[in-house]
Amino acid sequence: MKQVLQYPRKNGLLTEDCPLPSCKPNGIVVDNRYSLISPGTERAIIDLASQSLAGKARSRPDLVKQVLDKVRTEGLVNTFNKVRAKLNSPIPLGYSSSGVVVETAAGVHEFAVGDRVACAGFGYACHAEQIYVPKNLAVHLPSTLSHQEGAFVTLGAIALWGVRQASVTLGERVAVIGLGLLGQITVQLLKASGCQVIGIDIDEQRLAETSRFGADLLVNSGDDLAAKAIAQFTGGLGVDCVIITAATKSNQPVEFAAEICRDRGRVTIVGDVAMDIPRKPFYNKELSLNLSRSYGPGRYDPSYEEQGNDYPIAYVRWAENRNMRSFLDLVAEGKVDVKSLITDTYEISRAAEAFARIETDKVLGLLLNYGDTVVERKPIIATSRTIPKSDTIATGFLGAGNFSTGVLMPVLQGNKSFRLQTLYSATPHKARAVADQYRFDGIAESEDALIEDPSLDAVIIATPHNLHATQVLRALEYNKHVFVEKPLCLTSRELEDIRAAYRRSGTTLMVGFNRRYSTCAQKMKKHLCTRVNPVVFTYTINAGYIPKQNWIQDDNIGGGRILGEVCHFIDLITNLLDERVATVSTASINGSRGQFLNDDNIIINLAMTDGSTGVVIYTAMGDKSYPKETLQFFCDGEVLSMLDFRELSLFANGKMRSLYRGAMNKGFDAELQEFCRMIKSGQTPEEVESFFHSTEATITALTSLRIGERLALN
């Protein structure tokens, strides 16, 4: 299919051939008929993407700080690879469209194939021939409305929620500052609400356009007499409310709003404007200021938008989906006219012309037209970029997230033993961009198509954690060598199924426990293998805070922090000692007042089969300036101390000796070299069993936390 993407360079807007989207849980797949270009928002995205690296840094100092923090915790090379992958990623443009449902996920009963729908959401309702949309970001299109009108649903819902946030009442005098697309819709909504409306802009053309919607007064804010005209209209009282829909770096709209408001009036900000709030007028008039967050409750809430959990109407009357429906109803009733806001329509093949026009002309609504042809699912297979060597490992890759593109793919690209043959990602634009960046030979049309491809030797799995077990089982079923990023799986039942499938397959299975292959780990293991007595160990992980809304924290997707992250540290301990965990006991802090989840701050006590014992301390409450990982072994009158995989010291005979000091090395290169060796030379039962045991110990640690008991492993 064709999709409009903005690459991070000047003149980087392209209409690319991308794979069709998959129908994920809780959503639908839609053949777009029309999508709306939002001149203000999308021009801002293009401008930011076109900036130099220095320009981006000036625009987003918060992201610069994140990068510096990541350098301290993950090292320069890993950070550089991740940042480069992020900066090279294209941006899918568009967030408002209308089309016809062609597929629904299991359990989605709100829609059926053939339904006409309007869709919303950045990254979902894109400028593309076909899109995947979560069900709460789609609504039925009233039978009397055209697809052209339905394509305005997102802009309409944003304007409608802004009006709701302003709490306007019948008969109030309301000023709208900024009469672009959003502002002109807002004027119509206010008139439908029975308000007297004052339209304000610095552009005479915008003022003239707005006159057709019945504004009671139109004022050019650049006129010296603008405030006086508004005062006269309101009898010297000022307006009851101001809604700012302008997009500007200037603070003038906020200052002008304060000037024209009545005593104890209200200001609601919908547009993207500077917010240097002048204290004196706001204080003297005791003005109220609030912001409107996009198109209503549910926006930016993964539980609502991605997982399809609606809010009870008794408590949240106007969630974003209901705002979308309400706006379309107003259009269907003739109370809002969006057809007159359409400046022009372009075929998708002419998207570049449409976007060039928003840079030069005073346009309102530009529509992209996709026609009525049903998009056919076809594989995208590129012409081979290299001549394959007989001894290379033909590799398929599932997943194109930040870890894949920032860590695994750069390593694989530098390892001549692997040939990056096929990529599959559930996000079409990522599949296209990543396949080009890392020179994959082709893009698979589906996950099954990749796994079932007989020409592939190995499959690398780097998808959300809840998908790992099923994908590993499928790959083993088709006799593929499998590398799966941690965790291997999320439940004991899944683990047993994978054990059985592995025994049947006769292939290699490796889990991404990279730390065991790091330089520090190899040196520690060599030293510990000569010990006489059991050891005492402490492993402290200053993990940092992750919001509850993050996918890792979701039990159904990420599995939580123990399964998703702590598995790394349990595996490293068992590997260094070359011993199994005998018993495990997990405890978490209490009294956190809801800020943390149970597995955010834990202590895991591990007793090993040889009598060694120790603790894994995992906490989200530390400071970033403190090292992320510190590991100590106490044994035979000596102390081995590791600091963030960049320093390893031995304390013995009253002296400290450095065993390693250098760049952070967490073992990613060596890990994939080992995977190659296993494929070519065969995997021993002990090697794969160590992955199984680490996974079993981690699942048992989580169970111990839940039931509050020390548990023994089989």
Give the separation between CA 314 and CA 327, rounded to whole angstroms.
20
Per-residue tokens: 229: 């005209």
| Predicted local confidence at residue 376, as pLDDT | 64
Buried b (16+ CB within 10 A) or exposed e, 233-270: bbeeebbbbbbbbbbbeeebbbebbbbbbbeebbbbbb
Sheet holding 638-643, edge to edge: 655-661, 647-652, 638-643, 629-635, 536-542, 613-619, 602-608, 581-588, 711-712
Residue 134 has pLDDT above 80, yes or no: yes
Q: All domains of the chain, ordered by start, with CATH?
A: 2-152+301-369 (3.90.180.10), 166-291 (3.40.50.720), 393-512 (3.40.50.720), 515-712 (3.30.360.10)
Q: What is the mean pLDDT of residues 263-277?
A: 95
**One-letter identity of residue 712:** A
Q: How far is CA 454 from the centre of its chain?
A: 32
Q: How far is CA 198 from the centre of its chain?
A: 39
Buried b (16+ CB within 10 A) or exposed e, 562-578: bbbbbbbbbbbbbbbbe
Of 80-84, 258-262, 472-476, the one with minimum mean pLDDT is 80-84
Residue 383 confidence class, pLDDT cut points 50, 70, 90: very low
| Burial class of residue 540 in the structure, from the number of CB atoms within 10 Å of its CB (0-12 exposed, 13-18 middle, 19+ buried) | buried
CB 442 within 8 A of CB 421: yes
Per-residue tokens: 485: 């990023």
Nearest to 85 by CA among 396, 342, 411, 336: 411
| Predicted local confidence at residue 220, as pLDDT | 97
Q: What is the mean pLDDT of residues 231-243?
A: 97
Nearest to 663 by CA among 679, 652, 640, 647: 647
| Predicted local confidence at residue 388, as pLDDT | 53
Residue 548 confidence class, pLDDT cut points 50, 70, 90: confident
Please work out, in degrees rounded to the nearest 5, the angle formed at the alpha carbon of residue 226 by the alpha carbons of 222 and 227: 125
Residue 128 DSSP one-character state: B
Per-residue tokens: 68: 């510096």
CB 550 within 8 A of CB 558: yes
CB 94 within 8 A of CB 127: yes
Residue 378 has pLDDT above 60, yes or no: no
**Residue 480: C-alpha distances to residues 121, 345, 641, 669 (Å):** 37, 49, 39, 21
pLDDT one-digit tens code per residue, 591-600: 766 778 888 9
Is the C-alpha dihedral spanning 304, 428, 53, 121 positive or negative?
negative
Give the separation between CA 557 and CA 236, rounded to whole angstroms.
58
Buried b (16+ CB within 10 A) or exposed e, 184-194: bbbbbbbbebe
| Predicted local confidence at residue 595, as pLDDT | 78
| Predicted local confidence at residue 382, as pLDDT | 44
Q: How far is CA 200 from the centre of its chain?
A: 37
Query: What one-character-per-residue DSSP string does 581-635 give?
Result: EEEEEEEE----TTSS-TTTSEEEEEEETTS-EEEEEEESSS-TTS-SEEEEEEE
Give the separation between CA 22 and CA 489, rounded to whole angstroms.
22
| Predicted local confidence at residue 64, as pLDDT | 62
| Predicted local confidence at residue 360, as pLDDT | 86
Rg (CA), the chain: 29
Per-residue tokens: 346: 């372009």
Residue 379 has pLDDT above 80, yes or no: no
pLDDT one-digit tens code per residue, 18-54: 999 999 999 999 999 999 999 888 888 888 777 766 6
pLDDT one-digit tens code per residue, 554-587: 999 999 999 999 999 999 999 999 999 999 999 9
Residue 385 confidence class, pLDDT cut points 50, 70, 90: very low
Residue 151 has pLDDT above 80, yes or no: yes
Share of the chain above pLDDT 90, in %: 84
pLDDT one-digit tens code per residue, 636-670: 999 999 999 999 999 999 999 999 999 999 999 99
SS3 177: strand
Q: Average pLDDT over the chain, rounded to whole?
A: 92
